[in-house]
Amino acid sequence: MAPRRLQYSEEAMTAACTSVSKGTGLREAARLHGVPYPTLRARINGRKSIRKMERTVLGVERETQLTDWLEESARRGFGRTKKQLLSTVQNCLNQKKETTPFKDNKPGEKWYRLFWQRNKEKLALRTPQDLGSQRAAVSEAKIRNWFAKAKEDILAVDPSLLGCPDRIFKCDESGFQLGGGVKRKVLAAKVDKHVYQVSNDIHQQVTVLVCGNAAGELQAPLLIFPGQRFFYDPMEGFPEAHFAKSGNGWIDSEIFAKWLSTGFVPAVAHLQKPVLLFADGHSTHLTLAIHEICKEHNIILYQLPSHSSHIVQPLDLTSFKNLKQAWGEEVMKFKEENSDTLTKQNFSKVFRKAWDRRGHDGDVPKNGFKASGVVWYNYESGSHVKI
């Protein structure tokens, strides 16, 4: 069994050192302030010139980054778990190709316990209040609480944000099926109960990330294609859009971080800071790397309540609804006018037409923010009739 260690704070040790400097004996100072005598003696003799934390595997700077990230994540609604913390440390070490005593560079229980002890004055374990495990559980009281908390947090950072809709953004992503389109009723013989339509059998999708502000301005979309190798230009027909790729066509933390750096940050460079960016609670939206990007560029990344896109998520309420409708119509036109099926190679051309029809309508995102109520952090300003 490991020897029991006396628990004490850095403040207590500092007070004991001060007492000794004023003439109190070492043993008496240790007893009065509840610190170990050998440790106090070593501190007085100068043998502990650096804090214990500085001799950890990660060092002071990176542990400070971690604690800042954990605090900020929880405050913005993206609370991280123990498992996510350990995986984040592992990813950071692997990316920097560092060699550590950890197995596969992933810290274990001992590191976590010591990390907790070193930072227990800043961190605490909390059980988050669930805003609904499913949409049916999203109550009016929970949504009201979210609005009140969001308003309190934003006012604490910059009260001027309340009156600046051009600095309040929301990003959201949705999948667009290749070969898809809105199924419309067709005329057929009355005796035929079942009719068919030739369709593309490629069950893939391109994920589209859309970002707009409460003033009605939309940024160029991000198109995330499935696959890794392209022998053609997938952005042909829509070069203004941003491009990304992943194995399944879905967004991940690296793609979101890159879009944040190369897409969002340049697009808001002319605006007063900070700017506010709402996102859903997906795990890709607040890794340590994303936290550092937001911190560097003065971006407040804030989570909208989970499972509530039908109530308070601005782009879900209007922008994607209109864009999906235009997309379905353009796919139908494409099929009528071409013998080709809709593939990754011609996706951008077709999507551009839908984007130009519905994507640039400034009233669409503006109305979405108004319907959700998040522009003024006011539940009463929204149209929450669906709760």
In this prediction, residue 293 carries a pLDDT of: 93
In a domain, 132, yes or no: no
Q: Is the domain of 43 the same as that of 71?
A: no
Q: Is the domain of 307 the same as that of 164?
A: yes
Q: Is the domain of 364 the same as that of 272?
A: yes
In this prediction, residue 348 carries a pLDDT of: 94
Beta bridge partners of 156: none
CA nearest neighbour of 237 among 331, 352, 341: 352
In a domain, 125, yes or no: no
In this prediction, residue 308 carries a pLDDT of: 57
Model confidence, pTM: 0.68
In a domain, 347, yes or no: yes
User: pLDDT in tens for each of the 387 residues of the chain?
Assistant: 444 555 777 788 888 888 888 888 888 888 898 888 888 888 877 654 434 433 577 877 888 888 888 888 777 766 778 888 888 888 888 888 887 888 888 888 888 888 888 888 777 776 655 444 444 445 667 777 777 888 888 888 898 888 888 998 988 888 888 865 545 454 444 344 444 444 444 567 899 999 988 888 889 999 999 988 888 999 999 999 999 999 888 999 899 999 999 999 999 999 999 999 988 766 677 788 898 999 999 999 988 776 555 455 544 545 677 888 888 888 888 888 887 778 899 999 999 999 988 755 555 555 556 555 455 444 444 444 343
Range of the domain at 36: 10-49
Count of residues for the chain? Answer: 387
In this prediction, residue 189 carries a pLDDT of: 43
Q: Is the domain of 84 the same as that of 213?
A: no
Q: Is the domain of 210 the same as that of 357?
A: yes
Beta strands 168-177 and 205-213 are: antiparallel
Q: Is the domain of 245 the same as that of 160?
A: yes
Overall number of domains in the chain? 3
Q: Is the domain of 64 the same as that of 45?
A: no
In a domain, 151, yes or no: yes
Backbone angles phi, psi at 308, to 5 degrees: -135, 25
Beta bridge partners of 279: 303
Q: Is the domain of 356 the same as that of 237?
A: yes
CA dist., res. 304 & res. 150, Å (int): 9
CA dist., res. 258 & res. 247, Å (int): 16
In a domain, 1, yes or no: no
Q: Is the domain of 232 the same as that of 271?
A: yes
In this prediction, residue 197 carries a pLDDT of: 46
In this prediction, residue 259 carries a pLDDT of: 96
In this prediction, residue 180 carries a pLDDT of: 52
What's 171's domain CATH number? 3.30.420.10
In a domain, 359, yes or no: yes
Q: Is the domain of 58 the same as that of 33?
A: no
In a domain, 387, yes or no: no
